[in-house]
Amino acid sequence: MLVAVVSDSHDNVGGVRWAVEKISQMDVDALIHLGDVVAPFTLLEFQKIEVPVKHLILGNNDGEKLIMRKVAERLGFQLHDGPSEICIGGRKIFAFHGFGDADFTKSLAIKIAESGKYDAVIYGHTHFAFGEKIGGCIVLNPGELHGAISGIQSFLILDLDDMTTKSLHREARFY
């Protein structure tokens, strides 16, 4: 079972369209956006991905939460106001956007992984891709779809069957 994991779109519609195009070419079963879509109109771009399972974790920059909730519901996303346990394909995933600075967010993800309760811990917020195996848990950050902070637009595909990942990325573009 394949899960597309994206984060930090920050209204870069071109970056979102690139990711949607790539994801649509794969046999993806689920989509998780880890927050900072920012505006509801950007979330609309994800309607082109036809998967049965969609989750959106709200981030610190997501605005217009009432409208975002309505758009998410219309598109079939399960909206989460904060950190959430998500069960997909028999795997237990802890998903959150992030808190405070990048180092704190990353260390929090690692501590949650060290608990041994999850198959995966996925987070955003830092804008930099990260992947590490801690015990039986994989800790992942897909990076950013926006691209302004890292200079790279990226997302990842998580294979829940063998817990491997594939990162897709390109040099940041703003259009």
Compute the distance between CA of residue 140 and CA of residue 137 in angstroms, rounded to an integer. Answer: 10
Quick one: average pLDDT of 95-105?
Answer: 97
The mean predicted confidence, pLDDT, of the chain is: 96
**pLDDT band (50, 70, 90) for residue 174:** confident
CATH number of the structural domain spanning residue 73: 3.60.21.10
* Boundaries of domain holding 111: 2-171
Of 24, 23, 36, 43, nearest to 166 (Cα)?
23
pTM greater than 0.75 (yes/no): yes
| Residue pLDDT, tens place only, 56-74 | 999 999 989 999 999 999 9
| Residue pLDDT, tens place only, 147-173 | 999 999 999 999 999 999 999 999 998
Split into its structural domains, the chain has a count of 1
**Host H or E run for residue 13:** helix 13-24
Looking at residue 67, what is its pLDDT? 96
